[in-house]
Structure 1
Amino acid sequence: MTTAVTKPATGGNGARSAVAASAQQLVKSYGSGETRVVALDHVDVEIARGAFTAIMGPSGSGKSTLMHCLAGLDSVTGGRVWVGEQEITGLKDKKLTRLRRDRIGFIFQAFNLLPTLDALENITLPMDIAGRKPDKAWLENVIATVNLDGRLKHRPSELSGGQQQRVAVARALAAQPEIIFADEPTGNLDSRSGAEMLRFLRRSVDQLGQTIVMVTHDPVAAAYSDRVLYLADGRIVDEMHRPTAEAVLDKMLRLAADAPEPGDDVHGTASNGTYRSAS
């Protein structure tokens, strides 16, 4: 039987850890032998609490896999993962499900809305399952910000793709979880609605201390974050603080230019390529 391990808080003074999620020597691979594919290659990372972190990298770099492992949505091949001070590596399904329900919010391109529920019921569903009542003022603020006021009684089939994405975003924010993991949260929104959404995510960090981790390919979206982590070939190869869209785009272009040719050995010895991010 696997027992969850508590990770000591930084400083040892009993104060709440400043780290919302972390991983040590995280490995995720698929297959075996010659067909083995390494998606994450001995990754060490810490996600600061109360900050907005963006994860970027070329297609196939492992950015979504990293997010899924940190969020407890995917098992790991090796290494350890924590949410706050609780290790989630090896947690039984029931405990892991409860942790995700109570402490984590999710925004994915697949909206995962229940077709039999209306928009408002989809938004409050995680809290209903947990037996918690939403903060009415906050819920109204979330709904107004994502422009769903006239659509709350509509079911997903009666909403456009962009409106369904807004419901998914509102659902993640409404419960005010410890950390929100977002996979291209503005991918199905027009530029104006996407900018509104990103400003709201930014405000939720600045004003409410929300922690957000966002996978994105968009330099403009990444510029709303406090810190950008860059992945290449399953490793964190760089990071940027206080990013601008121009600086992010320049970095992404340089990463693309440095990408190995097909057939090159991109997963050599981990000790030669592991990047340890600053805390």
Structure 2
Amino acid sequence: MTTLTPGAPAAQPATRTAPAATATELTKVYGRGETQVVALDAVSVEFARGEFTAIMGPSGSGKSTLMHCMAGLDSVSAGSARIGDTELTGLKDKHLTRLRRDKIGFVFQAFNLLPTLNALENITLPMDIAGRAPEPEWLERVVRAVGLEGRLKHRPGQLSGGQQQRVAVARALASRPEIIFADEPTGNLDSRSSAEVLGFLRNSVRELGQTVVMVTHDPAAAAYADRVVFLADGRIVDELREPTADTVLDRMRNLPGSRSPVGARSDSDAR
């Protein structure tokens, strides 16, 4: 398996193509009157195809809300969210469900594996539900990329935390989605397993041409990305290319609302 280092640049397409996802003046408001909270304040951002982007910011900055709105997991109050050429705003539930199933992969902090299914069955489950057969050659590449060749018959209870998250990454990749959204994917892992999973996400971009957008609080995790987008108070306030853990940490220290130590565990960032 190819060994990858944090921040290794993704292979860029020779010609300009439409972004994998786009937000335009995206606004999300919770509540009304005195209890109103503006979680996203007219955010505009593009996520290029074949690129690994990390989203960072203080607790409550809106990073998870941005990902959830871009992935069609939450509605928007104003503005536009697009996956490829498809506008999410106004899509009926049936069409939104189909788009999430066919064009978006998800990796969460919780592995969300079914304990009664083995690793291979968990990987192919979304396609099985959709009545679609996986592409054998692609599935083999994905399994090889995440290093699960010898573990496909094991159930989640027989796998380590890092191996379970590899299964979740493979499941997200197996349908060849337009984009993968990862929300704190290493939050439940030790440092070694975290590095493995981040390496596999990096590998999916570099070798499989995948697009990954990851919410994280960890500068070391963000260093695996090609680009880091920083949010504060619901707005994009900074951006960093070719990040390192040190440069990310320096930027985070200067963001509005960065009162707590960077890298401290945050189990939830619902806003």
Residue 208 (structure 1) shift: 2.3
Contact 1:71 1:100 survives alignment (8 Å): yes
Residue 260 (structure 1) shift: 8.2
Q: Are 1:134 and 2:134 an aligned pair?
A: yes
Task: Report SS of the residue matched to 1:39.
Answer: strand
Residue 158 (structure 1) shift: 4.5
Contact 1:17 1:84 survives alignment (8 Å): no
Q: CA–CA distance in 1 between the matches of 2:114 and 2:145?
A: 22
Please show how residues 179-194 of structure 1 align to structure 2 within 5 Å.
179-194=179-194
Residue 134 (structure 1) shift: 2.5
Q: CA–CA distance in 2 between the matches of 1:50 and 1:224?
A: 14
Q: CA–CA distance in 1 between the matches of 2:201 and 2:218?
A: 15
The equivalent residue for 1:69 is 69
Q: CA–CA distance in 2 between the matches of 1:143 and 1:17?
A: 28
Q: Are 1:228 and 2:257 an aligned pair?
A: no
Contact 1:227 1:241 survives alignment (8 Å): yes
Gaps of 5+ in 2: 1-14, 260-271
Residue 220 (structure 1) shift: 1.4
Instruction: Give % identity.
Output: 73
Q: Are 1:27 and 2:27 an aligned pair?
A: yes
Q: 1:184 to 1:152 in 2, by over 3 A?
A: same
TM-score norm. by structure 1 comes to 0.81
Please show how residues 18-57 of structure 1 align to structure 2 within 5 Å.
18-57=18-57
Task: Report SS of the residue matched to 1:90.
Answer: coil
The equivalent residue for 1:210 is 210
Q: After superposing the two structures, state which structure 1 stretch, 96-105 or 168-177, moved more.
A: 168-177
Contact 1:145 1:197 survives alignment (8 Å): no
Q: CA–CA distance in 1 between the matches of 2:17 and 2:74?
A: 24
Counting matched residue pairs gives 245
Letter in 1 for 2:116: T
Letter in 2 for 1:174: A
Larger Rg: 1
Q: After superposing the two structures, state which structure 1 stretch, 56-65 or 171-180, moved more.
A: 171-180
The equivalent residue for 2:257 is 259
The equivalent residue for 1:168 is 168
Q: CA–CA distance in 1 between the matches of 2:254 and 2:232?
A: 11
Q: 1:50 to 1:77 in 2, by over 3 A?
A: same
Query: What is the Cα-based RMSD across aligned positions, in Å?
Result: 2.1
Q: CA–CA distance in 2 between the matches of 1:190 and 1:132?
A: 35
Q: CA–CA distance in 2 between the matches of 1:123 and 1:17?
A: 29
Cα deviation code 1:132-174 (max 9, x no counterpart): 3323344344334544445433433454443332221121122
Gaps of 5+ in 1: 1-14, 262-279
Task: Report SS of the residue matched to 1:132.
Answer: coil
Q: Are 1:249 and 2:253 an aligned pair?
A: no
Q: 1:65 to 1:111 in 2, by over 3 A?
A: same
Q: CA–CA distance in 2 between the matches of 1:252 and 1:223?
A: 13
Q: 1:147 to 1:209 in 2, by over 3 A?
A: closer
Q: 1:191 to 1:137 in 2, by over 3 A?
A: farther
Q: 1:215 to 1:148 in 2, by over 3 A?
A: same
The equivalent residue for 2:237 is 237
Cα deviation code 1:25-48 (max 9, x no counterpart): 111111100011111111111111
User: Larger RCO: Structure 1 or Structure 2 (Cα < 8 Å, ≥ 6 residues apart)?
Assistant: 2
Residue 77 (structure 1) shift: 1.1
Contact 2:23 2:45 survives alignment (8 Å): yes
Please show how residues 258-277 of structure 1 align to structure 2 within 5 Å.
258-259=256-257
Q: After superposing the two structures, state which structure 1 stretch, 119-128 or 69-78, moved more.
A: 119-128
Task: Report SS of the residue matched to 2:20.
Answer: strand
Q: CA–CA distance in 2 between the matches of 1:209 and 1:260?
A: 34
Contact 1:29 1:37 survives alignment (8 Å): yes
Q: CA–CA distance in 1 between the matches of 2:56 and 2:205?
A: 19
Q: Are 1:99 and 2:74 an aligned pair?
A: no
The equivalent residue for 2:119 is 119
